Amino acid sequence: MKKYFLSPISPPQILTAGFIVIILIGSILLSLPYATEDGIRTPFIDAFFTATTAACVTGLVVVDTGTHYSVFGETVILMLMQVGGLGFMTMATLFALAFRKKISLRERLWLQESMSHTSLEGIVRFIRRVLIYAFTIELAGALLLAIRWSAVMPFDQALYYGVFHSVSLFTNAGLDIMGPLHGPFNSFTNHVEDPVINIVLMLLIFLGGIGFIVLAEIIDFPKIRKLSLHSKVVLSTSGLLFLGGAVLLFIFEFTNTLEPLSLPGKLYSSLFQSISPRSGGANTLNIAEMRNASQFLLIILMFIGASPGSAGGGIKVTTFAILIGAVIAMIRGKEDVVFFKRRLAKDRVHKALTITAVSIATIVLFTMILSATEKTDFLTVMFEVTSAFGTTGLSMGLTPNLSDFGKLMIILVMFIGRMGPLTLAYTLVPHQSKELYRYPEGKITIG
């Protein structure tokens, strides 16, 4: 027991503890009177919820961000999104590099864990590139949005809106401050047919959701003319989910929420609502008014989520791809899961199955709990829980009406979704001993 407590802190433990500290600091700041427009303290449970949704880059809100919080409060939320999206270890590395501090081996291990990087070699150089890419993309997005919004508001306000939403969408948080312009909880529904807003926001969601490993390889592609198996699987699977989701949403909603829109508006909306569930969190259509088929499709997309090494949640597109590959291999009577003429190790398949099973169990458990405590229908509860787990932030309108117990449950789901079920499991049980023996093989009938 003594040896357990004196042992070095594992990477999953430091990541979990770091996020908890960030959320608590954010909760205290957001509960101050200075953080609200009317100068009245926000109830701590609501401040705690907002700090969690910002740090876990989810986007579910119990109060409208733009109308409830002051510039100070919005700045706190902006910083929480930035730190939560890039990872607090990445931001700590930024300051360490600025002050020319040496990065220790233990800190390099923490960085490797936080970025889901496959190798410890060159991790500091990789983090430096991540910071450059992230700030460059966020700056470009902020300027493009500011130029567009400067047509309807003063440029300094347009720039402020541009910076906030560029960081929010790139980190896949999905929080918005459009409330003062278009009313609370409306997200980007008033820009449903605006090509500039739609394209810029979709690009920010895409670039923030594919993961920094893939992003680095895309940028290096003109030079090296080669992509890793990981990047090929991420890009191909993401593309199929994006286009497939858009086509289905176009069909399901053509005579419903898409009906009053022009053809370009229908296309923008279908594409936007297809990419946003992949952890983006913003919406240009009213989710509550969609057909049940469309809402259930969004649940599936939110469950799959973004890519490893990004701020997005869900089981991740690589996990989904491995599951599909395993099913196809089993049906075809093949022993190996093969992608792009490369065989996957058995432990990758086992890990994908474990992540999926634990994720489904988590969503089922919390859906049952909230179905018993919240006065609404089952699909709405399941949508909200999956959105929290996938750190997506799309809502059918339940979140602002949650009971205090319901808020605590969603806070817990958001935290689990951001950290990942296995990371939390490794936090609680960090010491894994290798088996010294194997039991005799047995057989169980399946199917």
Whether the full predicted model's pTM is greater than 0.85, yes or no, is yes
Lowest mean pLDDT among 16-20, 79-83, 137-141, 304-308: 16-20
What mean pLDDT is reported for the chain? 87
What is residue 6's predicted lDDT score, i.e. its pLDDT? 41
Mean pLDDT of 365-370: 96
190-208 pLDDT, tens digit per residue, is 999 999 999 999 999 999 8
Mean pLDDT of 368-391: 94
224-270 pLDDT, tens digit per residue, is 888 999 999 999 999 999 999 999 999 999 999 999 999 999 999 99
Is 70 exceeded by the pLDDT of residue 433?
A: no
Is 80 exceeded by the pLDDT of residue 119?
A: no
Q: Is the Cβ–Cβ distance between 383 and 396 less than 8 Å?
A: yes
Is 60 exceeded by the pLDDT of residue 56?
A: yes
Nearest by Cα to 213 from 320, 135, 112: 112
318-347 pLDDT, tens digit per residue, is 999 999 999 999 999 888 899 998 999 888
Q: Is the Cβ–Cβ distance between 259 and 183 less than 8 Å?
A: no
Q: Is the Cβ–Cβ distance between 423 and 11 less than 8 Å?
A: no
Rounded percentage of the chain residues whose pLDDT exceeds 90: 61
10-20 pLDDT, tens digit per residue, is 666 777 888 89
What is residue 130's predicted lDDT score, i.e. its pLDDT? 82
